[in-house]
Amino acid sequence: MDHELEIATLGGGSFWCLEAVFQQVHGVRAVESGYTGGYVHHPTYRQVCEGDTGHAEVVRLTFDPATITFREILEIFFSIHDPTQLNRQGNDVGLQYRSIIFTHSEAQRAVAEYVMGELVANKVFDAPIVTQLEPEQPYWRAEMSHQNYYQEHPAQGYCAFVITPKLAQFRRDFSHRMRR
């Protein structure tokens, strides 16, 4: 039932990477690439990539919390990007690639703080976590050419060399969370 679904908005590098993984997660009903966290209305991909809008590339997930919890979504999120890199993921550099969680409720904020605290306490990463936590902000859907990007272009260089390894890691580490 739609009234029981929740929204999660996550940024961790290129939205193409996050989209490709979360489209395979059981319990995630919809994944949409977009922009949030900036100050320009209806930004374009070009504007965001130029770094002048303040936006992050994000995915907006619609998920069924009876099937997958927000905590489990965050566990996947922290495993498929490096939350210790400030404003970058690999060769993708700029504010638009920052690690960020836009929370949609106080409960989500509490879960995110708890999960991040566990990662620090368990010394999962060798460097400090720089993932930002902010309340949801105006969100803009990315252009159609950026939706389902990996599905449409799996042989494209970025997809083959950056996204495919992330998908392999997800499949290895979270096979129990994959759509059947």
Q: How confident is the model at residue 45 (pLDDT cuts 50, 70, 90)?
A: very high
By CB neighbour count within 10 A (0-12 exposed, 13-18 middle, 19+ buried), where does 37 fall?
buried
Q: How confident is the model at residue 180 (pLDDT cuts 50, 70, 90)?
A: confident
The pLDDT assigned to 3 comes to 62
Q: 18-40, pLDDT tens digit by residue?
A: 999 999 999 999 999 999 999 99
The Cα 65–Cα 80 span in angstroms is 21
Q: 144-167, pLDDT tens digit by residue?
A: 999 999 999 999 999 999 999 999
By CB neighbour count within 10 A (0-12 exposed, 13-18 middle, 19+ buried), where does 35 fall?
buried
CA distances from 150 to 57, 88, 132, 161, 167 (A): 15, 20, 26, 12, 10
Give me the domains of the chain, ranges plus CATH numbers. 6-177 (3.30.1060.10)
The pLDDT assigned to 143 comes to 97
Q: How confident is the model at residue 53 (pLDDT cuts 50, 70, 90)?
A: very high
Amino acid identity at 83: P
Q: SS3 for 90?
A: coil
Give CA angle at 160 (129, 146), nearest 5°. 75
| pLDDT average, residue stretch 61-85 | 97
Q: Is the pTM of this model over 0.85?
A: yes
- Give the start-end residues of each E strand in the chain: 6-12, 28-36, 56-63, 88-89, 92-93, 99-103, 132-135, 139-141
